[in-house]
Amino acid sequence: MLRALDALLNAHIAAGRHHAQAARYVSPGLLEAAAAEPDAVLAQLETTAAGLTTDEVKRRRAKFGPNTVAAEQQYRRLKLFAKAMLNPLVILLLVLAGVSRRSRPTRFCWKRV
């Protein structure tokens, strides 16, 4: 069953219906849960179709922490600028712009009146 899901996902990506290469990774646990019977998944997660009791929610929060999405790393503007300037293409363009500026004849420059 897992091979069938993987083949379906690969066909979906190859057909161009999915645009992000990073989204291609699917957790093996998620694939196993998708292939399993609903009752087996509920038993594995130690829950019921009705959900968790208030006491169970408090116990799990104490054990695992809050259910939040991890925050992305924030960069300072100067650090982002420095990272952008270290790109080889940007360095090449800056060097070529400097060479072009130095080799330009002065007769094409605007004259002051």
Q: List, for residues 37-92, the tens digit of each pLDDT value.
A: 999 999 998 999 999 999 999 999 999 998 887 777 777 888 888 888 888 999 99
pTM here is 0.40
Average pLDDT over residues 7-25: 58
Structure tokens at 93: 């363009």
Residue position matching structure tokens 């002065």: 106
Of 74 and 28, more confident: 28
Contact 91, 85 (CB under 8 A): yes
Residues near 67 by Cβ (< 8 Å), separated by ≥ 6? Answer: 61
Give 111's Cβ-side CA count (13 Å radius). Answer: 3
Contact 60, 52 (CB under 8 A): yes
Average pLDDT over residues 85-101: 90
Contact 55, 49 (CB under 8 A): no
